[in-house]
Every structure is written in structure tokens, then in C-alpha cells.
Amino acid sequence: MTAKLPPEPKVQGQKPITVQAGDVLHPGPPGTGSQARLRREAARRRAALGEAERMRAAERLAHRLATFLSTHPVPTLGSYFPVRNEIDPNGFRLLMGRHAPALYLPRLAGEALEFVRWDTTTPMGPNAFGIPEPLEGPVLPASACSCILLPLTAFDPCGRRLGSGGGYYDRTLAFRLNPAALRRACPLLIGVAHECQRTDRISPNPWDVPLDAIATDTCWYHGGKTYPELTWHECQAP
């Protein structure tokens, strides 16, 4: 029986979409001991957030993303379905209404991800990790998305990201590490997180794909600096 997507998250007065799925334990590139420690600490801080705190954080993030996405035409947006107290990234849709970008959610495709068009009628089902994903719909490769909102476990102000350890996003977005790739042909990569997931510095691995910016419930991070708001053009600047 096909699982139905829960009611859309509201910016105010409704619990964000969240399921209690297992942590991603699929073998990926080995992380350092330091990375494992940072991942555990950030995950513990995120898990300690109460429901009311998560709702307020999602509301603030929704306004931040809606303002950002309004500064540039964004036809297609990759997002995600939050689990394990991840911040809900999708409240901006309620604020932007018909001006919101077409939303695509990730679906496992072997060792990587593909993005599938989602709306309120899209049938959903759990993947191997218990995370809901679209069962059908138009598929868009990551390279064709205008922008992708990425979940994360920990981040630093310079745009370095630690995920859940499966390596799916790094494999999917490995084309961004190719120096010959034209920046204008690549999606803008925006990490989204609770502010409590920030750490001072993450030592990157060669395969780690850096983010263009990170949006939290309190501010933006770009190029090692913080901003109360950010525009698309500013985010593309080095």
C-alpha cells in the first residue's frame, strides 16, 4: 500500500513534516575520527531540540528562504523530506504561493540520488532507510536543478558539510568538483540546518562537495561570513 505524504508543513501553528527514520548507515567514504566526533556532537544537539523550538526554527528559515528565492528566477528546486529532527526546509512554499519554484525531492538511484517532481498528489513510499521518497513523477538529474537545498548533520561557516555518512549527496554532486564545469550550468547548493549544528571548522575530504551558502534559523553563512539576508547574486560571488 502506497504511503501518503503527511499534510504540508505550515509556517505557523502546525508540526513540521518529520518521520522517525533510521540513521543512514550505508557504507560511504570513510570519515576521520574528528568528523565522526563532530557528527555525533551536532546530531546530539539537534536531537535535544524540543518540538516548539523546531517549529519556530522552521518558521524563521521559511522567511529567510522565501526572501532569498524571490531575488532570482528559480524554475526548479531540489529539496528534501526532513527526518530525525532535521529542520523543515519547505515552509517557504506557503509564503511564496504560486511564485514558489517547482519542487523536486530526492529518490535513491543506486549509489546516488535523482530528483523527482513532487506535489500534494505524488505517491510516496519509504526507501531503504525509512525516508519517504516519491514513487513516481518526472525525474530531473541534480545537474539540471536550478538550486538544491541539502540536509546536513554539521557545518562550518565556510560551507563545509557533514552529512549522515552515506555519501549519497557527494556522489550525486561530484560534477561540482570538476574544474572544467561551468558554474552557470551547475545548481546553487544551499545547506539548511538549525543554528546549533554549526561547528568552528570541518576538515574536508577530497570527495566532499562544498556548499555555496548555508541558511539557518538565525542567519546565512557564505564565504566564512554571516549575513542576516542574502541574495542569489551575492551567493554566487566568491
Q: What is the CATH number of the domain that holds 93?
A: 3.40.50.10420
Question: Considering the domain boundaries, does residue 12 fall inside one?
Answer: no
Question: Considering the domain boundaries, does residue 3 fall inside one?
Answer: no
Structurally, how many domains does the chain consist of? Answer: 1
Question: Tens digits of per-residue pLDDT, 94-137?
Answer: 999 999 999 999 999 999 999 999 999 999 999 999 999 999 99
Residue 159 pLDDT exceeds 60:
yes
Which carries the bigger pLDDT value, residue 183 or residue 188? 188
Question: Considering the domain boundaries, does residue 94 fall inside one?
Answer: yes
Residue 181 pLDDT exceeds 70:
no
**Where does the pLDDT of residue 184 fall: very low under 50, low under 70, confident under 90, or very high at 90 and above?**
low
Alpha-carbon distance of 191 to 178, in angstroms, equals 20
Pairing between β-strand 132-134 and β-strand 124-126 as defined by DSSP bridges:
antiparallel
Question: Considering the domain boundaries, does residue 137 fall inside one?
Answer: yes
Alpha-carbon distance of 34 to 32, in angstroms, equals 5
Question: Considering the domain boundaries, does residue 68 fall inside one?
Answer: yes
Question: Considering the domain boundaries, does residue 24 fall inside one?
Answer: no
Q: How far apart are the first and last CA of the chain?
A: 48
Mean pLDDT of 202-209: 92
DSSP H helical ranges for 77-161:
92-96
Question: Considering the domain boundaries, does residue 28 fall inside one?
Answer: no
Question: Domain of 136?
Answer: 33-236
Question: Considering the domain boundaries, does residue 11 fall inside one?
Answer: no
Q: What is the pTM of this model?
A: 0.86
Question: Tens digits of per-residue pLDDT, 61-78?
Answer: 999 999 999 999 999 999
**Where does the pLDDT of residue 178 fall: very low under 50, low under 70, confident under 90, or very high at 90 and above?**
confident
Q: Which helix (H) or strand (E) holds 126?
A: strand 124-126
pLDDT at position 177? 87
Residue 209 pLDDT exceeds 70:
yes
